Structure 1
Amino acid sequence: MRILVTGGAGYIGSVVAARLVEAGHDVVVLDDLSTGHRTAVPGGCAFVEGGVREHAAAVLAGGIDAVLHFAAKSLVAESVARPELYWSGNTGASLALLEAMRAAGVGRIVFSSTAAVYGEPDSAPIREDAPVRPATPYGASKAAIDTALAEHARMHGLGAVSLRYFNVAGAYAGRGERHTTETHLIPIVLQVASGERGHVAVNGTDYPTADGTCVRDYIHVADLADAHLLALEHCTPGEHQVFNLGNGAGFSVREVIDTCREVTGHPIPQVDGARRPGDPAVLVAASDLARSRLGWIPRRPGLHGIIADAWAFHTASAAVGGPAA
């Protein structure tokens, strides 16, 4: 298939694009490089520099069979401070993409959604039928896109799959996390290990968990990419399907830090502090639906392996003067 990957110069998008190329697909990457990196785009992909709203229609008109949509803003704090950026850059741009797909007759899309659509859940693990009540404009912008996909499936026969991620980490084929503003725990802890930060802050040590710190579900980026290829094959005309993607098992903040110490061999100073408002004690995915319907099985579920891959990318990037992707 000839596939358009929006946001394919970013962390997850570039790994998925690489897996698509490996699977023999013809891939076009569209990315404005506002947060992505040209060097992350896999060899063998056509690359178009530009935004979804401005350039997707022209790319789609050139002949595309399916779209994998990753392009989005994803900083929760920024979304709270400037929600208009997220309604325009995420929801508005996605609506423009859907209209361009309809005009070009492209009938399949896999959408990069998020567990943030659930807000603070009533229970864990979180199933796909849990209430959608996002607590931030970021989550709300993604939930609105899910609604638009469902409506386009109903009205126009679109085959759509929304994949709701939990915490993605690790690296694949020389592609790992590289964010100007880093908010994810594992890369932050690895920055402490490499001396780029002085310590890691632990926000809350009195949660009702085994060690008092928050528990989160971590999934290897390569496993996540595999789910996208499976979802692409399961796009069904007239249906909008939703799948949670996670290991189904959680790791606490302390477990992540301790495993980073073990992997890196560095002490990694930590400073314990108060809870952050709105941080649930446990966020873990129920991924039974993805396993049963897509046939998806995470092949790299261990925290040690996820962190080892992330550390290998981090150290290799530092050795050449900066991350390569």
Structure 2
Amino acid sequence: MKKAYISLLLVLVLFSCTKTNKKVDITIPKLTNNPSWDVVCTNRKPLLSFYISRGGIGKRTYIVNLDTEPEFNSPNFIEYKNIEELDKFIVQKRVEKPLVDKIRYYFRAKAIDSEGNESKWGYTRFSLDTDYNKNFMNLTRAKVQNVRVSTGENPKNLIDYDDPGQVSFWQAAPPGPIKPWAIFDLGKPTIISRIWMLANINRDNGWLVDFVWEKSLDGKNFEEIIDAKILNNDTFRNVIDITPVSARYLRLKINHFRGVAPHLNCVIFYTPGKPKVPTPPRGRYVLLVGDQMNGGTFTQLAPYIETLDLDLKTLTVPHYEISLDMLNSILII
């Protein structure tokens, strides 16, 4: 009987240990809300928000870290603890003290349940620039007439500027003896001062790492644009401001990339100058700002407004052309 009691006690102890050591899973919080990867914040006390974790025991709270170094060990390190979930979807925290302006910040967060179990860290980063978009850029888009590429399918996706077109892409064939390139024909000599590039926003496969832009007037003799030589690129979006150059042809030479082949969704060229002020229709009208990448509206908003029994006409201005100066000029006309 004594042996039976000892055996039972041993089983209970083992069961208790097994139960205590059981792993508790808590998913990593998703830092894809605001600010998401490489977003530019213009408020020095931004509102941080991200998607909640799942799992754990009891109530979850969160720890948030901010720093100007990816190792989170600089004098600018900030930590917030015991942040509660706002609702069943997101967590949010307003930064309490002003952040350093014109610098990149690294942002991480993790969940902790009521038993002290922790998730792994979720990571993202953003830039802070209080002057970003404060003034009109004084640039207009240069129209591309044609695109040629070294290899790969659908080069026209590079100049497909509607919102669905930002998801489509050109991808070169897997690496061969020739380094990938793309040549853009503007149709005539044009002054270019900014190059805007978009790659895969969801993962870094195909991101360009080392690349350079070249200019040409005849499409045969190309010269490197010094301001447009990029080394060690680590993001999906590049805004390259250059000393204005005159070119009909612009060639992108790709020297190194992540993954098996370079992947590029969109390229836009800008020339110095202000957009032409549109002439508004006579009588009463509604001014619409086209918020799609190509300057249009997602819905057929203008035709809908004009079919209403309100005797209204419409004027649509692309978002990349609108400015306070333009609005004032339209009101004067």
TM normalised by structure 2 equals 0.26
Find the structure with the greater CA-based Rg: 2
More helix by proportion, 1 or 2?
1
Which structure exhibits the higher relative contact order, with contacts defined as CA atoms closer than 8 Å and separated by 6 or more residues?
1
